[in-house]
Structure 1
């Protein structure tokens, strides 16, 4: 490892076993950080542990008890926790209010809020004492859907807009001890989205969707469909206590630029 800017950092990544979360976790480790990942999928956790020297905890990162134990584990083992990165999320596969029944809408909306928003806020709340002591930082994962009417349906987009607001408000609330920022990736290849159980949506590998990468590339100014690794540098920068010392309340849009 040549980049050691995070050598003194102890980072907890929630939902870091695959996709963008894994990209962030590996990016942190390559920058010298000690990284602990909470991952629900035992298969993803096993693969990450086998392929990297990242510490992996198998558990549901939407569970307050699991997150509490993970924070305690990091602090007990390393003496501090300097960054919490939240990458847990569920997708709505472009569900429309025009076609949902009242029951489907209510259950899907509650599930989306609980997984994408409430779990993040709960995790940040639990991490505050440790981050405050370490003068650390929080990084939330948003989406291009928090800025543009693309990349998901209204339920997903509303949850990401909520996290955009959380970044702004938490940055004020936690200042000056803890910085709070976000990354808003665009469409990304090499990922899989967990759909809403309320709508009986199975996990779908986005790589299996015909023409998806080409469609994403056409919609970006850079003409590319990004990979999880493409977003890692944004996470690493925001977690850097020196390079990003005065950066808070900021969202980095790693979406290739919107062509329209």
Structure 2
């Protein structure tokens, strides 16, 4: 029996990368899942891969009605909602303020924050009544960039600091009925896109040919994790049996980046 046996989760950004890995892991742990993704094709594909356990919903996390529709689908299909996982995100690929035209910077900020921050907030709002009914939980995706400079640009870094702020504030506001936590993953190979306003909507981390070498050079654990390597933390935080006393916590899983300090690269 899995840690999430009988639970129902709503996962955003669920059609690829870390989101898809989370769907696969939650199902393996006994959960049924509503997989929200902006691509109808990806939403359909993840549903087809887990027929009967997953419902794919095409929608935009920045739109109130799409979040509400995903929650309604969970209640209609599965009768309850136990966990909201706010995972959809954009990455700015280290866009530097000095090198970015002011108008593009303004539009890029609005676009990225709408997904990374507002998407989490709207998802929690849409799910809240259902989560109160089940004494459920929220798990958000933060980032190594929430603690370390140089992982992304100023816009992405600020957005992930904002996610950490949401965790603390929502954990206080929603107690005692709903627990709120986050996971801060480090490096991984994924197809996360960037803001269209910055010309980054077709760029992906998976296209970086030297990402494995970079991870080995800067991480004490000396390997590039797969998205699936991060999913266990989400499962634990979602599990009532294993995280009943945990709220307002951000779990860092950075391959040892934080303890490397100024020492030489491992090797």
The TM-score, its normalising length taken from structure 1, stands at 0.95
Counterpart for residue 62 of structure 1: 62
**Cα pair 1:144 1:150 within 8 Å, conserved:** no
Equivalent position to 1:19, from 14, 17, 22: 17
- Unpaired runs of at least 5, structure 2: 262-267
Equivalent position to 1:10, from 5, 8, 11: 8
The 3-state SS of whatever aligns with 1:90 is coil
- Unpaired runs of at least 5, structure 1: none
Is 1:93 matched up with 2:89? Answer: no
Is 1:125 matched up with 2:137? Answer: no
Counterpart for residue 102 of structure 1: 102
Give the aligned length. 257
Counterpart for residue 164 of structure 1: 164
**Cα pair 1:192 1:203 within 8 Å, conserved:** no
Matched ranges for 1:1-260 at <5 A: 3-53=1-51, 54-189=54-189, 191-258=190-257, 259-260=260-261
1:219 & 1:44 partners in 2: Cα distance?
A: 33
2:199 & 2:81 partners in 1: Cα distance?
A: 37
**Cα pair 1:171 1:179 within 8 Å, conserved:** yes
What's the CA shift for 1:6? 0.8
**Cα pair 2:86 2:119 within 8 Å, conserved:** no
What's the CA shift for 1:164? 0.5
**Cα pair 1:226 1:255 within 8 Å, conserved:** no
2:219 & 2:134 partners in 1: Cα distance?
A: 38
**Cα pair 2:93 2:194 within 8 Å, conserved:** yes
What's the CA shift for 1:45? 2.3
1:4 & 1:51 partners in 2: Cα distance?
A: 19
2:112 & 2:61 partners in 1: Cα distance?
A: 15
